Structure 1
Amino acid sequence: MKIGFLYSGQGSQFVGMGKDLYAKYPMIKDIYTRASDVLGFNVAKVSFHGTDRELRETKNAQVVILVHSLAIHSILTEKEITPFISAGHSLGEYSAIIAAKGLSFEDGLRLVRLRGELMSEAGNSYPGRMAAIIGLSLSVVTEICKEISSSGTIVIANINTPSQIILSGEIGIINKAIKIAGKAGAKKTVLLPVSGAFHSPLMKEADAKFGENIEKVSLNDIETPIIGNVLAQEITKKEDIRKELELQMSFPVRWLDSMNKMFEMGVKRFIEVGPGKVLKGLLLNIDRGVEVLSTSDITGLSRTLEVFEKWKEQ
């Protein structure tokens, strides 16, 4: 059975995330305990009881999303639900790689914590923001960026669907782009709840520092392929994993191309692994004909387990 696992990215966090799963599935307590031991703070406490403001902080958000996603992955694995192929949206790519055993849990945690800290620092040193432009094509949004690029740094950071493009850049120029997009007929524009201009040149300094640490980490070839954010191609070799991680912080997330690649491989059933339902929404916006399940909480996970049993019978 060809099932695609999609791992949640930053912005999918929510207050109380994982608390219900932790209560029902004692097996995931070890994951939270190990994460706390590695990082030196109580990850479960931040996840289950942190305020919205605390969870939005990049250094916290990235860790709690990663641990939540891997906890759910462990439950799915115990139920013998495994992917044919996987992809993770930005931060989610780390969850995908760790789940595929391309990177150890401990090293992955340290890298993600460092990634969050460096991205936060970059956001303070080079203030920026991100915005979703909904209802305009990639070509129109590209022209808007070209039109105002002389005013400062602005780039296309994520291509999520044919009509949802994420911009990243300096605060003033992003605000300008939002106004222009509205006049150009955008259905909606949304400022994202993140602390910097991720996947843009404003992250280059953080990217360079991060790359030095990736070079020191041990990586492994993986058996279950991952579709990478940067090139939207299959990744199985450790050299390609390293290159992907070195580039992804300041390069665009080619999510639409990644999903189309999965479709080409015959994948029409998907499970979003991690908090929220963002990736489910994006996928259905790309192709209403696919089946996609979410596992964000007990309700979603229980339905996923039920539907999987039906899939096995077909």
Structure 2
Amino acid sequence: MTRAFVFPGQGSQAVGMGQALAEAFPLAREVFEEVDDALSQKLSALMFDGPLEELTLTQNAQPALMAVSMAVARVLDHAGIKVADTAIMVAGHSLGEYSALAAVGSLGLADTARLLRIRGEAMQKAVPVGEGAMAALLGLSLEDAQAVAKEAAQGDVCEAANDNAPGQVVISGSKTAIDRAIEIAKGKGCKRAMLLPVSAPFHCALMAPAAEVMAEALSKVTIRVPSVPLVANVRAARVTDPEEIRQLLVEQVTGSVRWREGVLHMAENGVTELVELGSGKVLAGLAKRIHKDLTARSIQGPADVEAFAKDV
């Protein structure tokens, strides 16, 4: 079994996330305390007890999801399951790319938490609430979804933001253009086109102000060579050079998350199992849809850790 570790993105947050880990493993508690200290906020209390509305705010969800992923990674490491020995690549969906970089030693935990807080706030502020939107187009290929977005733009921004799996593409842009795209898609054989409950239009040109903020923030942190290569969202290929990683993290704010292509890249270069570390099972669920020969599992709680430890 040749593995890649993958890290979830926004939407996988849930009240209670990480709590069982914290109760079972002192190392997990230490991760949550370090993130709390870095942000000068009791984020762990929000993760464990809610309310969901506050946890779902972009500036909270992003560091919270990273914290759970890193708690899992630290617990596995302490059990002798080190990323560098167990995986040949890592990848993360959107904010999960930061979790992946923290797990392979490119970014420090405190720096990662602060960067994600800045990223979440900057992405939220980039577009006034109500002026942007995102929609899922189910049943269309990436090329068809891109054609729908181009037709719908009509001078506004409308772009493919996430290529998640065959027949699952998310578009992002101006609310008026996204509304047009939903109607156009219905006439192009789209099985289902629906607005997503998000607070901003992520991964499109409207996020340019946030990209500027992240370029400044990333210029101030140390990025080290990862212990295993990162499959970058915007390139769908492996990178290891710290300065290249820094630039790609800036490009990622406005660029499309090429998740389907990234997973194919992993499968075509020897990966046979994806192991999702952190909250939820979204990425594990997409694996088989992307490549029929891939197996996948998610590690969220103590029982998952124990089961994985027996298999490695």
The worse-fitting range, judged by mean Cα deviation, of 278-287 and 182-191 is: 182-191
Matches within 5 A, 1:16-27: 16-27=16-27
Q: Does 1:204 align with 2:208?
A: yes
Cα distance in 2 for residues equivalent to 1:96 and 1:247: 17
SS of equivalent residue, structure 2 residue 275: strand
Q: With structure 2 as the length reference, what TM-score do the two structures score?
A: 0.94
- Alpha carbons 1:158, 1:254 under 8 Å: kept: yes
Residues 1:9 and 1:166: Cα distance change in structure 2 (over 3 Å) = same
Instruction: Please say if 1:165 is aligned against 2:166.
Output: no
The worse-fitting range, judged by mean Cα deviation, of 283-292 and 247-256 is: 283-292
Residues 1:101 and 1:9: Cα distance change in structure 2 (over 3 Å): same
* Residue of structure 2 equivalent to 1:46: 46
Structure 2 match to 1:60: 60
3-state SS of the aligned residue for 1:256?
helix
Q: Over residues 243-271 of structure 1, what are the superposed CA-to-partner deviations in whole Å (9 max), with x where a residue is unaligned?
A: 11111100111111111110111101111
User: 1:11–1:193: 8 Å Cα contact kept in structure 2?
Assistant: no
Task: Write out per-residue CA displacement over residues 36-71 of structure 1, whole angstroms, 9 at most, x where no aligned residue.
Answer: 111111021011111221121101110110101111
Name the amino acid aligned to 2:106.
Answer: G
Q: Percent identity?
A: 36
**Alpha carbons 1:129, 1:194 under 8 Å: kept:** yes
Deviation at 1:189, TM superposition (A): 2.6
Task: Provide the secondary structure at the position in 2 that maps to 1:160.
Answer: strand
Q: Name the structure 2 match of 1:95.
A: 99
Per the alignment, residue 72 of structure 1 pairs with: 72
Measured in 2, the distance between the counterparts of 1:296 and 1:186 equals 34
**3-state SS of 1:157 partner:** strand
SS of the counterpart of 2:128?
helix
- Structure 2: any 5+ residue segments left out of the alignment? none
Name the SS for the 1:123 alignment partner: coil
- 2:253 corresponds to: 249
Q: Tell me if structure 2 keeps the 8 A contact 1:152–1:173.
A: yes
Change (3 A) 1:115 1:150: same
Return the offset for 1:123. 3.3
Structure 1 gap segments, 5+ residues each = none
Shift of 1:120: 1.0
Q: Which moved more, 1:17-26 or 1:183-192?
A: 183-192
What CA distance in whole angstroms lies between the structure 2 residues aligned with 1:146 and 1:129? 16
Partners of 1:242 and 1:209 lie apart in 2 by 13
Provide TM-score, normalisation by structure 1: 0.93
Q: CA offset at residue 194 of structure 1? A: 2.1
Give the secondary structure class of the aligned counterpart of 2:91: strand
Distance in 2 between residues matched to 1:125 and 1:46, nearest whole Å? 23
Amino acid at match of 1:40: S
Indicate which of 107, 113, 120 corresponds to 1:116: 120
> Residue 106 of structure 1: CA displacement?
1.4
* 1:56-92 alpha-carbon deviations (Å, 9 max, x no partner): 1101110110101111111222223332210000100
1:188 equivalent in structure 2? 192
Greater Cα shift, 246-255 or 75-84? 75-84
Report the Cα distance in structure 1 between the residues aligned to 2:22 and 2:259, rounded to whole angstroms: 30
CA separation of 1:184 and 1:297: change in aligned 2, threshold 3 A: farther
Separation (CA, whole Å) in 2 of partners of 1:136 and 1:38? 42
Structure 1 contact 154–170 (Cα < 8 Å) conserved:
yes
Residue type of the alignment partner of 1:155: E
Is 2:171–2:178's contact at 8 Å kept on the other side of the alignment? yes
Partner AA of 2:80 in structure 1:
E
Question: Is the partner of 2:160 in helix, strand or coil?
Answer: strand
By how many angstroms is 1:182 displaced? 2.4
